[in-house]
């Protein structure tokens, strides 16, 4: 009986987590994430960070967002 309740709790938690995850995809990009996506787009267009698009963060995150 106790095992059945834990399964229901885990399934319910996973359902709520999946709902939040799907909902978060519809939110607009925030400040930092928008900047990462913008510089990533510049990289995909053949540009270079700190030359064609400038921000103070390290370049690795921009290449990660270009990959995404």
At 53, the pLDDT band (50, 70, 90 cuts) reads: confident
DSSP string, 46-67: T--BTTTB--SS-THHHHHHHH
DSSP string, 17-54: HHHHHHHHTTSPP-HHHHHHHHHHHHHHTT--BTTTB-
Percent of the chain with pLDDT over 90: 26
Contact between 43 and 52 under an 8 Å Cβ cutoff? The reply is: no
The residue among 63 and 29 whose pLDDT is bigger is 63
Distance of CA 16 to the CA centre of its chain: 19
pLDDT tens digit sequence for 27-46: 887 778 888 888 889 999 99
């Amino acid at each position: 009986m106790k095992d059945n309740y834990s399964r229901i709790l885990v399934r319910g938690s996973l359902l709520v987590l999946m709902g939040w995850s799907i909902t978060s995809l519809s939110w607009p990009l925030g400040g930092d994430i928008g900047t990462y996506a913008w510089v990533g787009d510049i990289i995909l267009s053949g540009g270079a960070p700190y030359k064609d698009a400038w921000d103070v963060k390290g370049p690795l995150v921009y290449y990660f967002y270009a990959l995404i």
